């Protein structure tokens, strides 16, 4: 019977200062008529913000998400995944109102857009009312 012995010859431990904080969040429900926009939403400034949106309307339900960086008075940058049909990567950086950020319905008609250099909104480009919600976590 053979005995196997493992010998650790080197062990490196990195110590990093960590601060654990309770995340902040905002939850916004929407029910928008065809062509309507939600009220403006102001993301946290100079922090990474996870923006998750969904459409809960039957037959059009889906979800999309982005990581977003809002730089006060300048612009907003993002990177994430569009909803299904087909699912694609979305990315950009803009302070111009009306710039598409991410689709959150299966028909690619309900999206989150820039409303200004400092705000975003939900836009319903569908021909009928759409409902759902958007959650921001930072």
Dihedral of CA atoms 22, 122, 130, 67 in degrees, nearest 10, equals -50
d(CA 30, CA 47): 25
Q: What is the pLDDT of residue 56?
A: 98
Q: What is the pLDDT of residue 43?
A: 97
Q: What is the pLDDT of residue 3?
A: 58
For the ranges 14-18, 19-23, 82-86, 99-103, the maximum mean pLDDT occurs at 99-103
Task: Write down the residue that tokens 């429900």 correspond to.
Answer: 29
Spacing of C-alpha 25 from chain mean position = 12
Cβ contacts of residue 131 below 8 Å, gap of 6+? 29, 30, 31, 32, 55, 56, 57
- Mean pLDDT, the chain, as a whole number? 90
Mean pLDDT, residues 114-134: 98
Percent of the chain predicted with pLDDT > 90:
80
d(CA 100, CA 123): 9
Q: What is the pLDDT of residue 8?
A: 53
Mean pLDDT, residues 92-119: 97
Q: What domains are defined for the chain?
A: 25-137 (2.60.40)
Q: Are 54 and 62 contacting, i.e. CB atoms less than 8 angstroms apart?
A: yes
pLDDT at 10 over 60: no
pLDDT at 4 over 60: no
């Amino acid at each position: 019977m053979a005995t196997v012995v493992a010998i650790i010859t080197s062990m490196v431990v990195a110590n990093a200062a960590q601060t654990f904080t309770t995340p902040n969040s905002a939850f916004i429900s929407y029910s928008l008529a065809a062509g309507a926009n939600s009220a403006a939403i102001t993301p946290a400034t100079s922090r990474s913000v996870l923006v998750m949106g969904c459409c809960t309307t039957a037959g059009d339900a889906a979800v999309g998400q982005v990581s977003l960086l809002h730089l006060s008075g300048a612009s907003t940058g993002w990177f994430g995944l569009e909803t299904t049909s087909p699912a694609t990567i979305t990315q950009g950086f803009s302070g111009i109102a009306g710039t598409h950020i991410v689709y959150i319905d299966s028909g690619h008609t309900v999206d989150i857009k820039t409303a200004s250099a400092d705000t975003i909104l939900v836009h319903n480009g569908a021909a009928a009312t759409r409902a759902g919600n958007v959650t921001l976590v930072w």
